[in-house]
Amino acid sequence: MDTTPIDLGHIEVLQILDEHAQLDEALDPGYAPEQLLRMHRGLVLTRAFDQRMLTMQRQGEMGTFAPNLGQEACQLGQVIPLTRDDWYSPSYRSFGAQIWRGWSMERLFKLWSGYHEGFPPPPDVNDLPFSIVIGSHVLPAVGVAMGMRYRNEPHCMVVNYGDGASSQGAVSEAMNFAAVNKAPVVFVCENNGWAISTPLGKQSATSNLAVRGIGFGVPTIRVDGNDILAMTTAVEQAANRARNGEGPMLIEAITYRMSLHTTADDPTVYRSQELVDPWEARCPIVRFETYLQRKGILDAEDAERVRAECDAEVIAARDRFRTDAVARPREIFDHIYGELPAELEAQKQAYLDRLDRKGVE
C-alpha cells in the first residue's frame, strides 16, 4: 500500500478506487456483485434522503439539520462491516449510516423535526443517540466498548467525529483511555475540511489529524473517505482487530463537506466555489457507479432506475411521517423529570391553562 511521510514517521494511506474509478486490483476486497449493488443503493438512498430533507427544511417542515452531500461513502463505509452485535455511535451528520443500521427514514424525519420518539435508537439497533455537543459522544462510546471488554464480548464500537471535534479535550481523553485499556473501539475522524467556517489549517498545526493517534499509541491509517471500498476495508480491519482484543484504532477519513454545515449556515460567506469545484469531480457516487459500469454489473439505465426507486422510497417515508407526526403540545414537560420540581410544575400548569384558553388540544 502507498504511504505518505509525515512529521511523526509514516502513516499508511489507503485508496483502492481512485477518483477516476481505477481499481487497485492488489487491494480489491472481492465483494460479490450483489453486495456491491447493495452498497451502491445505500449511497444513492442516502443522497436522496439528504436532498428531500433539505427541501422539507426550506419549506418549513423540518428543523435545522446537517446535510452530508459528498460524504456518503465515508458514512456508509463506517457501518457496512459491522454486525448486529457491534455498536455504533454516530455524530449528527450520520443519517445514511443510521439508515443502513436499521433506522427507518420516517423515524429520522421525526428526529429532525423535533418529535421525541424519533430520537431514541430503534429497540433492535445497537446505536447510541447522537449528541449535538461537539465531541461529547466519544467518551460514552469508549465506555460502551469497555463494557464489552469487561464482559469478554467479541464485539466492537465504531464512533465517528469531525475534524472540528478533534480539537475537543474529550476526544483526546477518550483516545488516551481507550489506548491504555485496549478498549475495542474504532475511532473514525471524518476530516471534511471545515469545522463550520473554520478550515483545518486554522485549528490544527498539522496538516493531518492521523498523527494524534500515534501520539496516544493508537494504530492509525489515513483513508480516502470518498472511496467506499477503502472505507469498508479499513473499518473491517480495525473492527476485527478490536474484536480480537488488540485495542483501538484511528481512521482519518479524508472527505469534503460539499454542502452546508447545517441549514443555518451559508458557506459562500467563508469559502469560494474554487475550493469546492475539485471535490465535485471526486463525487463518491459517480466514482462507484463508473467502477460498477466498467465491471459490467450496472449500466446507465440501472443507475437511473435505482435513483428513481430511492426517490420513491424516500417520498413514501415522508408521507408516513406526515401521517404519524402529530403535534402533542401537552406533553412537552413529560420527558424531562420523573417527578417535576415544584417550580416546573407551576410552569406546566400555567402553560396548560394557556393551551386551554386557546382551545389547543
Active-site annotation, residues: 257, 261, 270
CA distance 237 to 80: 12
| Nearest Cα residue to 222 out of 189, 198, 196 | 189
Q: How many CB atoms lie within 10 A of CB 186?
A: 29
Contact (CB, 8 A) for 189 and 255: no
| Nearest Cα residue to 249 out of 299, 189, 293 | 189
Contact (CB, 8 A) for 29 and 238: no
| Nearest Cα residue to 241 out of 252, 251, 229 | 251
User: For residue 51, what are the CA distances in angstroms to 60, 96, 299, 347?
Assistant: 14, 12, 23, 39
User: For residue 98, what are the CA distances in angstroms to 76, 142, 264, 341?
Assistant: 9, 19, 22, 36
Q: Which residue has the cell 457507479?
A: 289
Q: How many CB atoms lie within 10 A of CB 350?
A: 9
Contact (CB, 8 A) for 158 and 239: yes
CA distance 57 to 54: 5
CA distance 140 to 163: 19
* CA–centroid distance for 128 within its chain: 12
CA distance 262 to 63: 10
Contact (CB, 8 A) for 225 and 231: yes
